[in-house]
Amino acid sequence: MTVEAKGRAGGSVVARVPKATFRAHIADALRAAILNGNIEPGAQVIETALAEQFGVSRGPLREAMRQLIDEGLLVAVPYTGTHVVDLSVDDVREIYSMRVTLEIFAFEQIWARRDQAFRRELVARHDALTACIDAQDDAASIIAELQLHGFVYEATGHKLLIRTWESIRGRLQLYWAAHHRAHGIRGPRREGHDRYVEMALADDIEALKAEIADHMARGGRQTEDFLRGRPASAGTA
Amino acid sequence: MTVEAKGRAGGSVVARVPKATFRAHIADALRAAILNGNIEPGAQVIETALAEQFGVSRGPLREAMRQLIDEGLLVAVPYTGTHVVDLSVDDVREIYSMRVTLEIFAFEQIWARRDQAFRRELVARHDALTACIDAQDDAASIIAELQLHGFVYEATGHKLLIRTWESIRGRLQLYWAAHHRAHGIRGPRREGHDRYVEMALADDIEALKAEIADHMARGGRQTEDFLRGRPASAGTA
DNA sequence: CAATAATCGATTGTCGACAATCTGCGCCGA
DNA sequence: TCGGCGCAGATTGTCGACAATCGATTATTG
């Protein structure tokens, strides 16, 4: 049993996880570390160091890193190094413009299904987000907002759309989290989401399109200011 | 340092000998083998066999396979096996519905740029496609059609959109190629693309939206008939 | 002193062997 | 005969060591 977990004094938050595959667990842990800011945007990620830290060999670790590269969270240069992605202003602008298109498409799909349970669930997610905002818990608010929007995509049942959202979500979360840490206060606001959900429940597709576009424009503007003038240092994938 | 991915020229005659990294070279070769039908949809892909066939160890081969899994061309089950994806009717339907949304978004981006060179290039790609169709070269027609639509995405300069298109293109090509081999005749038709390009040049966004939707609906209907009743055997990722 | 070549450390790429897991088949007992 | 059990083959998962490449630093030379 060479898979015996090594001593690992300290922490030991995770006892053992050999059940599924190391690749999956490491990918989750590494993704969390990046999104939590434990590894800063632009920082280099060294295979040997991480492998030792996780207590595994470089094989599974490399495959986990490949996955994060495909998710757009890491950028690798052969024989040279791998860095956490550092989003540029254009990258953020692209993410927001893409979200407008995808989210409107999502609502078209949802409405075509006439799924009534969707309304209840949407309200529930919105309530959860509102609670986090009122509690001024910015970190939880970011998660709640991602889950609110994520639910919209999930509700479509459109696997390809969900897959596409997931390929964007990580970068969006990375940006929000970095922005929050750098600016201190921020976190999602109430007003925008109140209108967003109101329109979503109103079946007025044109109004919702306008609201989504405005919702994104506000978020995009708010965030671009922070990034402007700070050139990306580690490629923008 | 802006990370430039390795240029992947569409042409294939330039036999870039494997001295970049095996991973990239193998990923290209394996992808080509799948799209050419040398490996059938649903067929199992065995690491050891492929590694020997390519003359490399399993390490680089596994990473190449991981990449194709992320592209949606392979489906893996831990400790059990990896198969070429076998698209279901729903999968194809999703691809086409997604293309409607993405391609309309692409034209909105292009028009916002007022790029005049775009028109000339679009016509050039359309002429190339028409030539392939008139020559009744179905295989070349499929490539030409992919390049026509691909150019639309490229012309947006929207990296995230291009990335998304590339994540779909492989599966679309896989389906088209498999469909063509199974049905013999088919290949793209002239009429649809003539109208498509005509509308694209007309600056009439509403007409183009309708045309794209109709274009996709025709393609989707044409292809669904073939797949209907044939259950996917290897997961639909 | 400047420009170029050689060298060294760091990091990733690759390999071959071993371990863990799944699947199908044969065996045994009720 | 039938159903559960275990064994063997096949396939993927993991490991540790070695080789190739890159970047920067230093030595060399005009």
What is the spatial distance between Cα A172 and Cα A168, in angstroms, rounded to a whole number? 6
Choose, out of A44, A83, A94, A161, the residue to mutate when testing the contact with B (most B CBs < 10 Å): A94
Residues with Cβ < 8 Å from B140, sequence gap 6 or more?
Answer: B132
What is the spatial distance between Cα B159 and Cα A92, in angstroms, rounded to a whole number? 11
Residue B113, both tokens:
């740029």
B22-84 shares its CATH topology with B89-227: no
| pLDDT given for residue B179 in this prediction | 81
pLDDT higher at B171 or A187: B171
| pLDDT given for residue B185 in this prediction | 56
| Closest to B105 measured CA to CA, from A104, A164, A101 | A101
* Domain extent listing, chain A: 22-84, 89-227
| pLDDT given for residue A68 in this prediction | 97
Which chain A residues 10-29 have CB under 7 A to strand C? Answer: 18-19
What is the spatial distance between Cα B160 and Cα A88, in angstroms, rounded to a whole number? 13
| pLDDT confidence bin for B224, thresholds 50/70/90 | low
Matching residue, tokens 């490539």: B143
| pLDDT given for residue B220 in this prediction | 66
What is the spatial distance between Cα A131 and Cα A151, in angstroms, rounded to a whole number? 17
Query: Would you say B172 and B131 are in contact if contact means Cβ atoms under 8 Å apart?
Result: no
| pLDDT given for residue A234 in this prediction | 42
Contact: B236, A159; criterion CB under 8 Å? yes
Determine the residue type at A42.
G
Q: B89-227 is classed in which CATH architecture?
A: Up-down Bundle (1.20)
Looking only at Cα atoms, what is the longest distance across chain B? 55
Query: Would you say B171 and A163 are in contact if contact means Cβ atoms under 8 Å apart?
Result: no
| pLDDT given for residue B62 in this prediction | 97
Of the candidates B21, B161, B167, the beta carbon closest to that of A98 is on B161
| pLDDT given for residue A224 in this prediction | 62
| pLDDT given for residue B143 in this prediction | 93
Q: B22-84 is classed in which CATH architecture?
A: Orthogonal Bundle (1.10)
What single-letter DSSP state applies at residue B75? E
Model confidence at B169: pLDDT above 60: yes
Tens digit of pLDDT for each residue in B109-121? 998 887 788 989 9
| pLDDT given for residue A201 in this prediction | 84
What is the spatial distance between Cα A221 and Cα A93, in angstroms, rounded to a whole number? 9
Of A108-117, A153-162, B7-16, B152-161, which gets the smallest average pLDDT?
B7-16
Residue B182: count other Cβ atoms within 10 Å of its Cβ: 13
Of the candidates A98, A159, A235, the beta carbon closest to that of B94 is on A159
Residues with Cβ < 8 Å from A81, sequence gap 6 or more?
Answer: A44, A45, A46
- Residue B203 backbone dihedrals phi, psi, to 5 degrees: 65, 10
| pLDDT given for residue B3 in this prediction | 29
pLDDT below 50 — which residues of chain A? 1-18, 229-237
Query: Would you say B107 and B208 are in contact if contact means Cβ atoms under 8 Å apart?
Result: yes
| pLDDT given for residue B6 in this prediction | 32
Q: Which residues of A121-147 are buried (b: 16+ CB within 10 A; e: fewer)?
A: ebeebbebbbebbeeeebebbbbbbbe
Q: Does B62 lie at the interface with A, CB-CB under 8 angstroms?
A: yes
